[in-house]
Amino acid sequence: MIDEKREKFIIPIGPQHPALKEPGHFEFTVDGEIVTAASVRLGYAHRGIEKATESRNWTQNMYLLERICGICSHIHALAYCLGVEKLAGVSAPPRAQAIRVIVAELERIHSHLMWLGVAAHEAGFDTLFMYSWRDREALMDVLESLTGNRVNYSANLIGGVKFDISTDQRDTILRALETLEERSKHYLSIVTSDMVFLRRTRGIGTTSAAQAEKIGLVGPTARASGVARDVRVDAPYAAYVDFPVKLVLHTVGDLESRFVVRINELFESYRLIREILDHMPEGEITARIPRRIKEGETISRVEAPRGELFYFIKSNGSDMPERIKVRTPTMCNMASVPVLGIGQQLADIPMILAGIDPCFSCNDRTTVIHQGEDGDVWTWERLRQHGIDFYRGQP
Amino acid sequence: MRMGAMFTDVIRALFQRPATRQYPFERTASPDRLRGKLNWDAEKCTGCSLCVKDCPAQALEVFMVDKANKRVVLRYHLDRCTYCAQCVVSCRQSALTMAHDEWELADTDKKLFTITCGDDADVQRLADLAPKGVNEQT
């Protein structure tokens, strides 16, 4: 006879489009409508980019790394360029750093507005989704006229940027910001006052500051729980040294506060871009950089729209890197989904997942598959032998 | 707390023009900085191949068909190009530029994506130099 009390009901979600249009597999054990256990399996979008960087030169790698993420492409290239410049002992001119920050902040605005739409869509609030994306289009036009592309801007060069900002473009940016600021205020009032929407966000997936610290959350997800963590403030890079940003914090830690933090960050970005445009440093926009980078290793940290983005770069003195390691913010934030999901309604899970602003493709660079209870740890020797055997078997 | 916070937006939108455009019937001018099809100036090119070295997509090939007279032929693979403009930046002679108005480059014939640019005589010389059939494949 089946013991009904001990039987578990597991709902598998994904890997095809689990709430979002990216691959990831989730298993939720449910008791009625309430989730009692959850697990995440990632790695479906693993592309071997880190390995590919080892067979391309420093310049080519910038474009490869830019394509790790379609939404935050500029920040990847920026983290890489800052790291390589540090290794080479060259720093980009102040005007180039200012332009880099302007593009990074424009990218943050577009990313946050996009998230606002996606998260609203997950909550079933498609009106907000449609209108926020319509307004985001104004920003995409600005990015296109400024950099020459809507998505992979390719604004960076190792040692500077590709283009300058003219007076006309400055006016275009300011005009777009004016409209966006007004709209953002409107959206902030909607997400904090619409009764139906608040039932999906207020008090759902609440993360305390202690919990956020323990899981290791980063970016706006951590700041919504009152954890003061922002690389732009903690370790300013590029033009953030001269143009400091104000930390945006909220203390509640539920989904509503994640909306509030991200929209308030938009206002901070608008302010910062205006300030930089008003006090643009004069001078060159590129510095000369050698084709071969000095031997050494370095780390580079930047604040991507989703949180801390980390690069480790090692050079052996040739024109190609020896090793590049990337850790994206989604990797850190993803751990919160199985933890926060427990005890919630199954219907709230997509919102909790969308609440961290996940980006699966950014995230998938290592796959660890646990076999058995204790997992399976491979020694370096065993991994090396596996590699030799694998390639020996190839035609 | 209120109900239907976006109701006014929806009503207002009824009396506004649609935000979308009826492309391809309605076109807007592309921005000046848009990175479109690559253009090459044979007179300026010295055949240094810096563009080939830096291209992240292996979209360029440079052939020196006559070293003494510095005759160069460039083969451009439109289908591999990621339109990053690194070659334009790398070129010290400013021989490469990207057209901002040529961006509708899709086609059903794959052969059209491999463009061999240069003087007609030089292109012919390249074809003679290479073994038969190899040119079309690379």
Does B49 lie at the interface with A, CB-CB under 8 angstroms?
no
pLDDT of residue B116 exceeding 70: yes
Summarised one tens digit per residue, pLDDT across range B12-63 is 999 999 888 899 899 888 999 999 999 999 889 999 999 999 999 999 999 9
H or E element, residue A143:
helix A126-147
Residue B40: the pLDDT is 93
Q: Look at the block and give the residue holding tokens 């206002």.
A: A267
Q: Cβ B35–A193 below 8 Å, yes or no?
A: no
- Give the C-alpha separation, A374 to A96, whole Å: 50
- Cβ of residue B89 closer than 8 Å to a chain A Cβ: yes
**Is any Cβ of chain B less than 8 angstroms from the Cβ of A73?**
no
pLDDT digits (tens, 9 = 90+) for A288-321: 999 999 999 999 999 999 999 999 999 999 999 9
pLDDT at A77: 95
A59: closest CA of chain B, how far (Å): 6
| Contacts with A167 (C-beta within 8 Å, 6 or more apart), sequence order | none
Q: CA nearest A201: which of A120, A100, A82, A263? A: A120
DSSP designation for A254: S
Instruction: Supply A93's token pair.
Output: 């001119």
pLDDT score at A367? 47
Q: B54, A57: Cβ pair inside 8 Å?
A: yes
Query: Does the beta-carbon distance from A127 to B6 stay under 8 Å?
Result: yes
Select the residue of B6, B83, B100 nearest A131 (Cβ to Cβ).
B6
Evaluate whether B62 touches B52 at the Cβ level (below 8 Å). yes
Tell whether B3 is within 8 A of chain A (Cβ). yes
Residues 108-137 of A with CB under 8 A from B: 127-128, 131, 134, 137
Question: Which CATH topology does A49-329 take?
Answer: Cytochrome-c3 Hydrogenase; chain B (1.10.645)
Q: What are the sequence ranges of the domains in chain A? A: 49-329
Q: Which CATH number fits domain B30-137: 3.30.70.3270, 2.60.40.2300, 1.20.1090.10, 3.30.479.30?
A: 3.30.70.3270
Q: Name the token pair of A204.
A: 């759902």
- B9 contacts A127? CB cut-off 8 A: yes
Query: What pLDDT shows up at residue A69?
Result: 87
SS3 A323: strand
Tell me the C-alpha distance between B48 and A172, whole Å: 39
- List of chain B residues whose C-beta atoms are within 8 Å of the C-beta of residue A157: 89
pLDDT at A326: 92
Contacts of A147 in chain B (CB under 8 A): 33
Cross-chain Cβ contact B2/A195 below 8 Å:
yes
Interatomic CA distance for residues A108 and B117, integer angstroms: 41
Phi, psi of A367 (to 5 degrees): -120, 125
Predicted confidence at residue A170, as pLDDT, reads 94
Interface size, chain A vs chain B, as Cβ–Cβ contacts under 8 Å: 73
Quote the pLDDT of residue A285.
92
Q: Cβ separation of A154 and B85 shorter than 8 Å?
A: yes
Residues in chain A, pLDDT under 50: 366-369
Distance, CA of B59 to chain centre? 9
Q: Which residues of A touch B90 (CB under 8 A)?
A: 59
Ordered strands of the A321-327 beta sheet: A296-304, A307-315, A321-327
Query: Which residues touch B84 (CB under 8 Å, ≥6 apart)?
Result: A63, A152, A154, B35, B56, B57
Residue ranges of domains in chain B = 30-137
How far off is chain B from A230, nearest CA to CA, in Å? 30
Query: How distant, in Å, are the alpha carbons of A125, A185, A195, A253 from that of A259?
Result: 14, 12, 15, 10
Contacts with A137 from chain B: Cβ below 8 Å: 19
Which residue of B lies nearest to A148 if distances are taken between CA atoms?
A: B34
Judge whether A311 and A300 are in contact, CB under 8 Å.
yes
Task: Say yes or no for a CB contact (<8 Å) between A194 and B89.
Answer: no
Name the strand (E) or helix (H) holding A87: helix A73-88
Which residue in the block uniquely carries the two structure tokens 């070659």? B87
